[in-house]
Amino acid sequence: MIATQGTSTGLTTLQRLKIELMAEGMSVSPEARRALSGHDGLRPLTLADYASTSGVILVLGEDIWVNVPIADHNANFVTTPTFTLDHQDEGFLLRGQDMEVPVKPVPVPSYHNERLPSGRLITDFAITHTHRVRISPIQGCSYVCTFCDLPYDKRYEKMPIEGLIQSVQRALEDPVLPARHILISGGVPRDEDWPWLNEVYETIVATFPDVPVDVMMVPVPGHFSVERLHEIGVQTLFLNLELFNEETARKIMPRKVHIGQATFLKIIESAVDLFGPGRVYSLLLVGLEAVSDTLRGVQALSERGCDPVLSPFRSDPGTPLRNQSPPSMEVLQAVYLRSEELVKRTGGRLGPRCLPCTHNTLTFTDSYHNR
């Protein structure tokens, strides 16, 4: 009943709940913590690798996935949340606003504390959230964007390819949370390391030919080949604009701005021509620029056949933007509803189209399909 109940905005109650949870976070009761941490009490509530994935993943109803920030990793803004995750004999419940909503937490994979033969933690190489295992060939980053923790928390390092392969294999076989597809992401390499990263792309696709492989990377001209990635069999590209207002972007991500917005959009357009509809995404951060600028970005991407991905800004305590408040529920709701109108005019969709991968984006059931 609650999953389909409409509101004055046209959103269902559970859709509005997802947006509120993304904006305000939740608390976790002692009973829920014990249930989530396993019989030995050692399982973490979340792997918390990036700001946008630092929360506990819940499934609301049958098809609404949400990554909910918690004070453990975001005490900078999760202060007095309305909702609390609780646990009783019948399962997990969200309590708040005179509501009790049954939810299903998504566990972390069982490899969370395991090591490779080299002695390094698997999570140094791979992190699984819902259906996707993300590997980061480059730790740290040669770029410094003030919203991202990579250049602040991690030393720049090329990760051994053998370790990447071993970690992916373990993630695909995990008995608790088996991965179904692979995302190659991570920091931007130094100029001299791009040939090595391109080798990683080819090696991973060739090693796991039956598993869909996506690539998320800054398309630096002269180093990044859309044509080659299509040729070797990469399924989906994430070419993230992140900010559409160039003046704001210059302050927050100066090196990325040097590519030039026109060049970036041209690369995205050529990628859509090769990969086809629904196979090229571009993420926009909601809350770091004016709503009107984000919507201009949605329109520019959608007009080129690219699926915009709306990612609510979540301040990371380790970055210079640690004290910047995330966007409110009202802002997130307005951006989502207006963006839906814009993409429908072009016959497009908001991404991503993998249902579980919508956990940290403003996307609902009419905008995706299962893999």
Helix (H), strand (E), coil (C) string for the chain = CCCCCECCCCCEHHHHHHHHHHHHCEEECHHHHHHHCCCCCCCCCCCCCCHHHCCEEEEECCCEEEEECCHHHHCCCCCCCCEEEEEECCEEEEEECCEEEEEEECCCCHHHHCECCCCCEHHHCEEEECCEEEECCEECCCCCCCCCCHHHHCCCEECCHHHHHHHHHHHHCCCCCCCCEEEECCCCCCHHHHHHHHHHHHHHHHHCCCCCEEEECCCCCCCCCHHHHHHHCCCEEECCCECCCHHHHHHHCHHHHCCCHHHHHHHHHHHHHHHCCCCEEEEEEECCCCHHHHHHHHHHHHHCCCEEEEEECCCCCCCCCCCCCCCCHHHHHHHHHHHHHHHHHCCCCCCCCCHHHHHHCCCCHHHCCCC
**Residue 256 near residue 265, CB atoms below 8 Å:** no
Domain-located, residue 290: yes
How confident is the model at residue 3, as a pLDDT? 40
**Residue 43 near residue 37, CB atoms below 8 Å:** yes
Q: Are 323 and 218 found together in one domain?
A: yes
Residue range of the domain that includes 58? 13-105
Q: Are 71 and 195 found together in one domain?
A: no
How confident is the model at residue 4, as a pLDDT? 42
Q: Are 53 and 124 found together in one domain?
A: no
Q: Are 186 and 72 found together in one domain?
A: no
Residue that finishes a domain, picked among 70, 105, 140: 105
Domain-located, residue 5: no
Per-position pLDDT tens, the chain of length 371: 344 455 556 899 999 999 999 999 999 999 999 999 987 888 999 998 888 899 999 999 999 999 999 999 999 899 999 999 999 988 999 999 889 999 999 999 999 999 999 999 999 999 999 999 999 999 999 999 999 988 888 899 999 999 999 999 999 999 999 999 999 999 999 999 999 999 999 999 999 999 999 999 999 999 999 999 999 999 999 999 999 999 999 999 999 999 999 999 999 999 999 999 999 999 999 999 999 999 999 999 999 999 999 999 998 888 999 889 999 999 999 999 999 999 999 999 999 999 999 999 999 865 444 43
Residue that finishes a domain, picked among 51, 78, 105: 105
Domain-located, residue 233: yes
Q: Are 190 and 216 found together in one domain?
A: yes
Q: Are 191 and 282 found together in one domain?
A: yes
Domain-located, residue 61: yes
Domain-located, residue 250: yes
User: Per-residue pLDDT tens for 227-276?
Assistant: 999 999 999 999 999 999 999 999 999 999 999 999 999 999 999 999 99
How confident is the model at residue 154, as a pLDDT? 86
Q: Are 97 and 194 found together in one domain?
A: no
How confident is the model at residue 38, as a pLDDT? 86
Structural domain total, the chain: 2
Domain-located, residue 6: no
Residue that finishes a domain, picked among 105, 126, 145: 105
Give dist(CA 229, CA 221) in Å, integer: 14
- CATH of residue 173's domain is 3.20.20.70
